[in-house]
Structure 1
Amino acid sequence: MKFQVWKFPVLCLLFCYWSSTSTVTGFTTDQLKRITDYVKETYGIKKQYAYVITFDKTECEQLTDQNIKDALKNDKANDVRNKVLSHTSEIYEGSRMVMASYKELGNNQREHSEHRLLYPAPDSTVSPVENLLNKAPTECAIFFTLNSPCQAYCTKPNGPYEIVSKLDQFSKINNRAFVYDQVYNDKICFAKCMESVDKKMPVYRCDKTCFECFTNGKFNLVCLNSSYQTYQIESSQTEKNNF
C-alpha cells in the first residue's frame, strides 16, 4: 500500500520531465550550420547579402539536409539569383525565403541588405520579412547576413537606419536565430552592439563552424576573433562607444 501512495506522484514527475524534454527549445549550432551551408552552396551569392528563411513545425523538429531542401523546393536557385544579382539589385520574395543584397543609391550611398528586408519599400506598408511571416504559420526562422550589421547605422540606437527595433517582427516566433558569417567592422564596441541584437534574437556566428555568441550575459569572443576568450561585457573596462 505504501508503494501505491507515492507511485502516482513519481510517475507524474517522470511524465512531466519526458514532456518537457520533447519540446522544441531552439536551433542547435548543427542545424544552423546545415541551413547556412545549404544556402551558400545552392544559391552561390558571393557579394554581401542577407536572407530570412521560415520553417514549419515538422521541419523544425529535425532540420535535416532533406527537409531544408524540401522547405526551399519552390525557391529555385535561378529565380533567386536573377533577382538578387540583377543590375537593379531586386529583393527576392519567395514562399519560404526572402533575400537581398545591398543596393547602390549613388553618391557613395548604399541601402544595406538587412535594412532592405526589415523596412517596407516606398510603395508598401509591409516589409519583405513581415510579408513572408504572414504567408504561413512559422515555427522557427533564421535571419542570416554574410557580414555582421554595421555599427555606424544598423545597430546604432535610435538611428534612422537602425535594424534592431525592426527585429520585433520575429517576436511571435519562439525559435529564432540571427546569424552572421564574417565581422564587418572590428571595433571595440562590437560586442555591445551585437548584444542589442541578441536581446531580440539569439546571435550566432557561422563561419567554418557555428558558435552561440552570448551565454548567460557573456560574449564569446570567437564571434569576433577566434584568438580571444570569453569575457563579461558588464565588467569590461575597455568597452567604449565609438559611434
Structure 2
Amino acid sequence: MVQVVLGPAILIVLCCCILTVTPFTEEQLLRATNFIRQEKTGGLNNQYAYVALFTVAQCRQLADADLRDALRQEDAANLVMTVADQQIYRGTKMVAASYLQIDNQHAVHAEARLLNGEGNAPSPVQDLINRNEDRGCVLFYTLNSPCTGLCVRIGGQYNILNKLNVFDNINNRALVYNDVYFADLTRKEDIVWAAWAAVNARIGFYRCFNNRCVRCFKNGTQNSNCYYT
C-alpha cells in the first residue's frame, strides 16, 4: 500500500479550494435585490444606485438570513434620507447614491458618484472595499441601466467602464438594473448592446424585473429580455 503524505503547501491549497465562492445565480440576485428594496431602499423612487458587499460564508447561499446578517447595521431611514437629499450614504456593508443635479441640463449620475473619488480620496466603493477584508461577493445595483450616452459610452470622457476595475479582486460580482434607461430605448439597439457588452466584459450584467432576474449575455448571446419588457 502506498501512503500519500500531504505537505503543508498542499493542505493550504485544499483549504483555499473549500472557500471558493460559486458565481451568483439568478435566484440569489432576485432574493438579494428584493430584500434590499424591501428592507433598506424602499423609500427611494427616483434613480439611485448602491453597492453591497458580502462575506465568503454569506455568499455560499445568500439566503434571507445571510442578507439580514450582512446588512443588519445599515439604517434604512438614514440611507433613504441621505440618498434622497442627494448625499452619498456610506454604511458598513453598503454605499448608495442618487444622481446629483448640477443645473437644469446637467447631472452627475449615481453610478459615477459611487465609482469616483474627490481629489486624492478613494471613491465610496473603494473605501467600502478597503474597510471590509472578507469580500466573498459584491452586488452593484442601479435602478436604471447605465446610460450609453455618458456612463458606458465607449471612449467617452466620463464613462465608468475603467472604474469597474475596482471589483477586479472580487471574483463573484454582478451589476444589476431594473429598467432600461429611457434615452437608450430611442438609440440604435446595436449601440446599446455594444455598450452593455463592454460592461459585461468587466462585471456580470443582469436585469432583475417583474420578479425575475436574467443574465444579459450568456456564451456571447444577447438576452432580449434585458432590452424589451
TM-score norm. by structure 2 comes to 0.86
- Tell me the C-alpha RMSD between the 2 structures: 1.9
Give the Cα separation in 2 of the matches to 1:162 and 1:195. 14
Equivalent residue number for residue 154 of structure 2? 157
Give the Cα separation in 2 of the matches to 1:143 and 1:159. 21
Q: Which amino acid aligns with 1:64?
A: A
Q: How does 1:19-30 map to 2 (within 5 A)?
A: 23-30=20-27
Q: CA deviation at 1:24?
A: 2.2
Q: Which amino acid aligns with 1:136?
A: N
Alignment partner for residue 214 of structure 2, among 189, 211, 216? 211
Alignment partner for residue 94 of structure 1, among 91, 96, 102? 91
User: Is 1:197 aligned to residue 196 of structure 2?
Assistant: no
Q: CA deviation at 1:21?
A: 9.7
Q: Which runs of 5+ in 2 are unaligned?
A: 5-15
Question: Are residues 121 and 23 of structure 1, via their aligned partners in 2, closer, same or farther at CA, if it must alter by over 3 Å?
Answer: same
User: Is 1:133 aligned to residue 132 of structure 2?
Assistant: no
Give the Cα separation in 1 of the matches to 2:25 and 2:78. 29
Question: Are residues 31 and 103 of structure 1, via their aligned partners in 2, closer, same or farther at CA, if it must alter by over 3 Å?
Answer: same
Give yes or no for contact 2:89–2:96 (8 Å, CA) kept in 1: yes
Write the deviation string for residues 96-129 of structure 1: whole angstroms up to 9, x where unpaired. 000000011014211100000000135x521000
Q: Higher relative contact order at CA 8 Å, sep ≥6: structure 1 or structure 2?
A: 2
The number of residue pairs the alignment matches comes to 208
Equivalent residue number for residue 8 of structure 2? none
Q: Which runs of 5+ in 1 are unaligned?
A: 9-18, 227-243
Equivalent residue number for residue 62 of structure 1? 61
The percent of aligned pairs where both chains have the same amino acid is 38
Q: CA deviation at 1:133?
A: 0.5
Give the Cα separation in 1 of the matches to 2:66 and 2:172. 17
Q: Which is higher, the Rg of structure 1 or of structure 2?
A: 1
